[in-house]
Amino acid sequence: MGYREDEDPMGKLREPLREIAQCGLPSALEAMGERWSFMILRAAFNKVRHFEEFLEQLGIARNILSNRLSRLVENGILKREHCADDRRRIEYRLTEKGFDLLPAMLALRQWGEKWELGTPANPVLCDDRDHRAIGPIVIRAADGRPLDHHELTWLDRADVAADPNASGAKVRKIA
Element (H, E) at 146: strand 146-147
Binding-site member from 69, 72, 77, 101 for DNA (CB under 7 A): 69
Q: What is the DSSP letter of 22?
A: G
Residue 94 CB, nearest distance to DNA (Å)?
15
> Taking the complex as a whole, how short is the minimal distance between the CB of residue 55 and a copy of itself, in angstroms?
12
Q: Which of 18, 87, 132, 157 binds DNA (CB under 7 A)?
A: 87
Contact 74, 59 (CB under 8 A): no
57 forms part of the interface with DNA (CB under 7 A): no
Report CA Rg, the chain: 20
Binding mask 13-52 for DNA (x = CB under 7 A): xxx------------------xxx-------------xxx
Which residue in 100, 97, 105, 93 sits closest to 42, CA to CA?
Answer: 105
* Contact indicator for 3, 70 with CB cutoff of 8 Å: yes
- Sequence-distant (6+) residues with CB within 8 A of 53 are 43
Length of the chain measured in residues: 175
Q: Which does 156 bind (CB under 5 to 8 A by kind): DNA, a copy of itself, none?
A: a copy of itself
Q: Which does 16 bind (CB under 5 to 8 A by kind): DNA, a copy of itself, none?
A: none
Name the residue nearer to DNA (CB basis): 53 or 127: 53
Q: How far is the CB of 87 from a copy of itself (least distance, A)?
A: 29
Contacts of 69 (CB under 8 A, 6+ apart): 40, 51, 54, 78, 92
Residues that bind DNA (CB under 7 A): 1-3, 9-15, 34-36, 50-53, 59-64, 66-67, 69-70, 80, 86-91
